[in-house]
Amino acid sequence: MAQLLSALSRQLTPAPPIPVQRFADRWRDLIAAELVDGDTLLHTDMTPRNFLLAVRLRLVDWSSPARGAAWIDTAFMLVRLIRAGHEPAAAEAWARQVPAWVHASDEAVNAFADGLVRLWERKQWAAPGPHHGPLLDAARRWRAYRSTISRR
């Protein structure tokens, strides 16, 4: 999975000339635009059902693409790993296999974690679903972890 995300960020930067929304615009009320702006075509929907394993791993169902910072898809995947039972520190250790993640600033990642919590809080409030609560919990755990390592 880390190899796939690494390859995609390399292959999709710069983003192909297709009309997609900027991630900074999509999250404009959750995070400062300069922290997530970039020229990588992002998937933004890292759900287990969007990975297809045949001869090699593929990412399918590009229904929510956006243009933004190359590390964002890895951040979305990281939260899915936490939801699946991994500790935030272990999920971040996994993410460090992806070069785009390594180059993300702590400020941007911390702001993203905070924005993700607020996004899932809104979704849970607006339309409670069986998957919203666990994703909100995972995002909160990741944000709490980020706040402890930021103090070091």
Beta strand extents in the chain (DSSP E only): 40-42, 51-53, 57-59, 66-68
Question: The domain containing residue 64 runs over which residues?
Answer: 2-150
Within 8 A by CB and 6+ apart from 94, the residues are 2, 78, 81, 86
Please write the tens of the pLDDT for every residue from 77-135: 999 999 999 999 999 999 999 999 999 999 999 999 999 999 999 988 888 888 889 99
Structural domain count, the chain: 1
Q: CA 28 to CA 82: how far, in whole Å?
A: 25
- 61 pLDDT above the threshold of 80: no
Quick one: pLDDT at residue 55?
65
Alpha-helical (H) ranges within 68-131 are: 72-83, 88-95, 99-102, 106-126
Q: What is the pLDDT of residues 32-41, one digit of tens each?
A: 999 999 999 8
pLDDT at 152: 52
- Mean pLDDT for the chain overall: 90
pLDDT value of position 93 = 97
Instruction: Quote the pLDDT of residue 35.
Output: 95
